[in-house]
Structure 1
Amino acid sequence: MNPRIALATAGRNLQQLRADPRTIGLIVAVPTLLLTLLSFVYDGSARFTGIAVAMLGILPMLVMFLITSVAMLRERTTGTLERLLTTPLHRADLLAGYGAAFALAALVQAAVLVAVSVWFLDVQTAGPVLWVLVVAVFAAAVGVATGLLASAFARTEFQAVQFMPLFVGPQVFLCGLLAPRDSMPQLLQWISDCLPMTYAVDALRSIAEQQDPSGDVLKDVGVLAAFAVGALVLAALSMPRKTR
């Protein structure tokens, strides 16, 4: 991988994002609006804080998965990817550039989401709010990496969107958001241990409940980082030059 080429690719992707206000709105505004709507649903209930803290890891992961899977597929369907790969650009450079650009977008998304949650929706955590931001960014990075991986197996943008339920459903059901993982059958607990959203939710709950959650959070963040790197490697190995 050539760092200079990867940075140039990231710059190109950021320029494309800047020229697309609808995508910026989807990245930054939609998760905040959804969390705000959830606060009205719970209407001051004490349960809102626990749900909201978990959603700070879930929403960035889901939104970034959707954005990156569609964006990368568009590169193939328009022929841009095929033309780029005739240059010295390698698949690894392309995916690293995409990852860097959307990781920066994820940082902005997470910062806005955390700020609104803490200052406007009164979501309080026992641990430092900075840890919440860190977990949200790494959760979004997993969404970026898995979105790039999913795009390699889709032929149309509609097919890329169809991967969303497959990616979302099992993780939301098994991450501990709807029911404690300890109460699930052993088989489901094992499956849950293999899903990245589980570690994002566990880390955020540690932050919500512990004054010094650094040990647990670092362990979970390390697992999220491993998921992201693994998905990027698989995406680089499986990414076709164009839609088959």
Structure 2
Amino acid sequence: MSVTGGSISVRHPAQHRSRSKLSPQGYLATTGRILRQLAGDHRSVAMILVVPSLIITLMYFMFQNAPYPPGGQPPFNMACLIMLGVFPLIVMFLITSITMQRERVSGTLERILTTPLRRLDLLAAYGTAFSIAAAAQATLACIVSFWLLGFDTAGSPGLVFAIAIINAVLGVGLGLLCSAFARTEFQAVQFMPLVIAPQLLLCGIIVPRHVMPEWLQWISNVLPASYALEALQQVGAHPDLTATAVRDIIVVIGFALVALGLAAATLRRRTP
């Protein structure tokens, strides 16, 4: 600001605050608010925690008497391994996209973005809150699978748990991103067949990727679920962490970070 006889440097806190650093106070407060909202929504809590374990238990009884070759993997082991990787992606995508769309429609997101809270704080808070929920889901599902239903893998159960969390973070990023293109919660749900279903069809669950037509293999190679499933299959088949599993985990993390970064670009202030 210029005045007679010189100039005075004015540093307005709202315009000159750093946008590249995380604000612990705003981040923690927003994370707590989101977790309290989730805890108050009993249907969402049931969907996150109880439903995956119930479906895995149902699958256990479905495959209980299914025959398999001597020395081969029990069918339940293969199905459970897939479900432990798929559930976090699907559930967290649904919960995140619906919750964020509710924030947008209700005006909560717009009001938050007019406060000193940075977009980085808000995005990190959503990622942390839903990752905590996903960790609770994966913990319960792994306890039920490994200790109650006899599920077993050649690799460490901790790796299965870690990959499930990474898949959940990927679901959070995709859910945050897709919510920007929906006008209602129902439209947010409709993105699931568009974003999630092709990944489940082409990741190798139904048909092995190497027997698909070459053009479908190319599409499969750019979908993160393909690498998530391959990493789980590596953990299920090998006692040690393989180079392929490490590569796949890094790729899924990269997809998750890109999705979160693109989601951050959609968090724009709409009021002047």
* Shared fold, TM over 0.5: yes
Query: Which of residues 38, 52, 57 is equivalent to 1:31?
Result: 52
Q: Who is 2:14 aligned against?
A: none
Q: Does 1:22 align with 2:50?
A: no
The corresponding residue for 1:2 is: 22
1:126 Cα deviation (Å)? 0.6
Q: After TM superposition, list the pairs within 5 Å mapping 1:57-206 onto structure 2.
A: 57-206=85-234
Question: Distance between the aligned counterparts of 2:248 and 2:187, measured in 1?
Answer: 31
SS at match of 2:196: helix
Q: Which has the larger radius of gyration?
A: 2
* Number of the residue aligned with 1:232: 260
Q: Which residue pairs with 1:40 in the alignment?
A: 61
Deviation (angstroms), 1:92: 2.4
CA contact under 8 A between 1:51 and 1:177: conserved in structure 2? Answer: no
SS in 1 for 2:246: helix
Shift of 1:91: 2.3
Q: Which amino acid aligns with 1:30?
A: V
Distance in 2 separating the partners of 1:25 and 1:3: 32
Report if the CA contact (8 A) 1:76-1:241 is conserved: no
User: Which deviates further from its counterpart, 172-181 or 11-20?
Assistant: 11-20
Q: Which has the higher contact order (CA 8 A, sep 6+)?
A: 1
**1:40 Cα offset (Å):** 2.4
Q: Which residues of structure 2 form unaligned runs of 5+?
A: 1-20, 67-73
Number of the residue aligned with 2:10 = none
Q: Output one character per residue of 1:188-233: Cα deviation in whole Å (capped at 9) or x when no partner.
A: 1111111111111101111111011243332221111111110011
2:38 is paired with a residue of what secondary structure? Answer: helix
Q: Distance in 2 between matches of 1:185 and 1:98?
A: 39
Displacement of 1:171 after TM fit? 0.8
* Paired residues of 1:60 and 1:110 also in contact (CA < 8 A): yes
Q: Is the 8 A contact 1:152 1:240 kept in 2?
A: no
Give the structure-1-normalised TM-score: 0.94
User: More displaced, 124-133 or 6-15?
Assistant: 6-15
The one-letter amino acid of 1:139's match is N
After TM superposition, the score normalised by the length of structure 2 is 0.85
Q: CA deviation at 1:134?
A: 0.5
Aligned counterparts of 1:160 and 1:48: Cα–Cα separation in 2: 32
Worse-superposed segment, 164-173 or 143-152: 164-173
Shift of 1:3: 3.3
SS of 2:151's partner is: coil
Q: Contact between 1:174 and 1:192, CA under 8 Å: does it hold in 2?
A: yes
Between the aligned partners of 1:152 and 1:169, the Cα distance in structure 2 is: 19
Deviation at 1:240, TM superposition (A): 4.7
CA–CA distance in 2 between the matches of 1:110 and 1:193?
Answer: 26
